[in-house]
Structure 1
Amino acid sequence: MLDTYLTSLTSFVSRDSTTTQAQQVQQSPYGYTPTFAVCILFLTLFGVSSFVHLCQAIAYRKWFFLYTAVFAGLIELAGWSGRIWSSENVDNGNAFLIQIVCTIIAPTPLLAANFVILARIIRKLGDSYSRLGPRLYSRIFLSCDLVALVVQGGGGGIASGNNIPRAQLNLRKTFMRYWQEFVFQLIVMICYMTLATEYFWRFSRQRPVRRATEIEMRKPAVINDRLQLLIYALMFNTGCLFIRAIYRTIELADGFDGKVIQTQWLFNFFDATMVVFAMYTFNLAHPGRLLDEDDNSSFAEMESSSTELNISYPIDSYSNTKV
């Protein structure tokens, strides 16, 4: 009799515990409970990369990395700290607010580093092949990046609000669908990638957009091994951030009650992992080591270190060049 009673009591407690856990997951703003070990992993990865970027920025005197890569890493650290907090207290509104805002806006400063690096590559190789001058690249795309940062930050705050009146629900959905889903940032990235692709295509085929300057004619540009590696790193970095932006667009279009946002491994791979790849790419292929912006060596010296992709030629006449 006593054994039967204890067995029934144990079964009831177990069932009650299971029901409570299910209710917690159902009430979770994530649709799941963030895994503590995964949060620690990404917190460590972002922390190491951010510290290395800080040291590299100081060592190579590339100060723009402080407000791009380092700043992005710090925001990611804040976001993943919020997710760790949520793993212990999943229904905490402040933790959810921190993580959603920070993980949404964190890669935006990192993308700005790509704009600056491309502008400096163009300045080194010559802007006669570019639709825009190096300064315009920095000004236009950095301005767009700043707009995206403000919009994403504001949208993330609205999205995470827990006490929004039902009458404002459609406003939130509209804002998130047309702005917060990264449409604007995707358009900016597509324009940036198109212009960059055209530049390198024209450069490799000697098809300038405008007449070459006297310096370019006297000392033609060359892509050496180090600069080639930096260009590949820039392409890979941009590709990772582009994949992540597409994922966020799909996620937010699916809605906050959709399956995409409530699937943890999708976020971990297409968001967090892509940003980790992007950050570590410039740790390994840092412009401070690969891009010599004060290169005063002779053309012969540059030519000796070039590879099969190296290009060295005089631009004798723009009028005889096919555009």
Structure 2
Amino acid sequence: MNAVELFTRDDNYLYAGYSLSFAGNLVVAIIFGIFLVIHVFLARRARQWLCLYFWAIGLSLEFIGYIGRVINSKNMDNLNAFIMQAVCITIGPCYLMGGIYFLIGQLTIVHGQKYSALRPVQYAVVFIILDFIAVGLQSAGGAIASSANTLELGQTGIHVTLAGLSFQLLSTLIFLGYWFVFLYKIYQANKLEGDAAFPKEYEPIRKRKNYKPFLLTVSLSIIFIFVRSCYRVAELAKDDAKLSNDEIYTMILDALMILLASLCLLLIHPGIIFHEIDVKIKISLKECFSPRELDDIEKQSGADNSGAKQSRETL
């Protein structure tokens, strides 16, 4: 619900101007809570700290947001609950994507940097910076809209939130392009040379029976989050209130999409794939923004094809 649809009763603004399902939102909140517990257990067990932090924050925000909707379903005048849902549900997926960026950086190391247009650290740093910009805009917009006491101020909050969502949508689309190009390149390399095309030291990871399904679930999770972002942009951009006021759209195109994305990430958790094999990304702004030398890539290519072991931690 956005501030445009707020209406006056006894000269006070209502912060949730449509009927919310108590049972539906409670079920969603419980599922997010369960997913959070499972993720923390698996990530800690495999020492996947960056995924742990980002996904734990994202799932916690989703849980808090839907608890806010549960409260609003019984008391539509509760401003704090509305702020909980307006802010937390909006920015939660950004943190889920943050964990995915680190994960894709690790997968770039597992297959070899020569197949990726970006370095592992660039996935981790560049796209997270873009997401923090999106989070900042969405948080500011949500705070303005949820605390607005005039229609004009509420509209300003919506525009700021829309800018943040649109920015996130664009960065996710660019990220999807890089990811699918990377998948295509490793598919072609595997088709021509088999597993010998990739770094020998990470062969145990690629040989796991659930590794290829893991790549599929990661791809699906990104697509689900992208669909959700499209919905949120359309929800705020449209002049009519149908997308905002009909909860079925929120449940299917927001809650369900993020639940499915989270489920995909848990079905074959990175903690299972990388268990007992350390794939680290060295976070360095110098490495992130320095020119990528062709000679370095060619040296890596030759070393990969000869099967020699070498560390990817400095990539």
C-alpha deviation, 1:216, in angstroms: 5.5
**Is 2:45 the counterpart of 1:62?**
no
Residue 187 of structure 1 is matched in structure 2 by 170
Which of 122, 141, 144 pairs up with 2:108? 122
Gaps in structure 2 of 5+ consecutive residues: 1-8, 191-196, 280-302, 307-315
Equivalent residue, structure 1, for 2:221: 237
Shift in Å at residue 142 of structure 1?
1.4
* Map of 1:175 onto structure 2: 160
Give how far 1:159 is off. Answer: 1.8
Deviations 1:58-77 (CA, angstroms, capped at 9, x unpaired) = 11111113321111111112
CA distance in 1, matches of 2:202, 2:89: 43
Bigger Rg, which one:
1
User: 2 CA distance for matches of 1:217 and 1:294?
Assistant: 14
Question: Higher mean Cα deviation, 85-94 or 121-130?
Answer: 85-94
Q: Render the CA deviation track for 1:158-192: whole Å, top value 9, x for unaligned.
A: 121231474x4664454344x14x11111111111
Paired position in structure 1 for 2:93? 107
**Normalised TM-score (structure 2):** 0.76
The 1:230–1:94 alpha-carbon spacing in structure 2 relative to 1, beyond 3 Å, is: same
Counterpart residue number, 1:47: 33
AA of the residue aligned to 1:238: I
Which structure 1 segments of 5+ residues have no match?
Answer: 1-22, 208-214, 297-312, 317-323
Structure 1 SS opposite 2:243:
coil
Q: 1:206 is matched with which residue: 170, 189, 194?
A: 189
Partners of 1:176 and 1:284 in 2: how far apart? 32
The one-letter code matched in structure 1 to 2:189 is: Q
- Aligned with 1:250 (options 231, 234, 246): 234
Say whether the 8 Å CA contact 2:148–2:154 is kept in structure 1: no
In the alignment, what sits opposite 2:23? 37
Give per-residue Cα distances to partners, 1:224-273, cap 9 Å, x unaligned: 33321211111110011011000001001025x61111010100111011
Q: Which amino acid aligns with 1:41?
A: V
Q: 1:278 deviation in Å?
A: 1.1
Kept after mapping to 1: 8 A contact 2:47/2:271: yes
Give the match for residue 17 of structure 1. Answer: none
Q: Write the distance in 2 (CA, Å) between the matches of 1:217 and 1:50.
A: 33
Q: How many angstroms apart in 2 are the aligned matches of 1:153 and 1:280?
A: 25
For residue 157 of structure 1, report the CA deviation from its aligned partner: 0.9
CA 1:286 to 1:169, structure 2 compared with 1: closer, same or farther past 3 Å? closer
8 A contact 1:30–1:261 mirrored in 2:
no
SS for the counterpart of 1:106 is helix
Whole-Å separation in 2 of the counterparts to 1:119 and 1:165:
44
Q: 1:134, CA displacement in angstroms? A: 0.7
- CA–CA separation in structure 1 for the residues paired with 2:227 and 2:15: 24
Give the corresponding residue for 2:70: 84
Specify the code of the residue in structure 1 equivalent to 2:83.
L
After superposition, give the CA deviation of every residue in 1:260-308 in whole Å (9 maximum; x if it has no partner). Answer: 1101010011101111111121221101112357389xxxxxxxxxxxx
The change in CA–CA distance for 1:29 and 1:131 in structure 2 (over 3 A counts) is: same
Q: Distance in 1 between matches of 2:263 and 2:169?
A: 22
Aligned length: 265
Q: Give the direction of change, closer, same or farther, for the CA distance of 1:220–1:240 in structure 2 (3 Å limit).
A: closer
Deviation per residue, 1:33-87 (Å, 9 max, x gap): 2111112101110110001111111111111133211111111121111111111
Q: d(CA) in 2 for partners of 1:315 and 1:106?
A: 41
List, as ranges, runs of 4+ consecutive aligned residues in structure 1 with deviation greater than 6 Å: 217-222
What secondary structure does 1:261 align onto?
helix
TM-score normalised by structure 1 residue count: 0.74
Measured after TM superposition, the shift of residue 30 of structure 1 is 3.6
Q: Could you say what the CA RMSD is over the residues aligned between the two structures, in angstroms?
A: 2.8
Amino acid across the alignment from 1:60: A
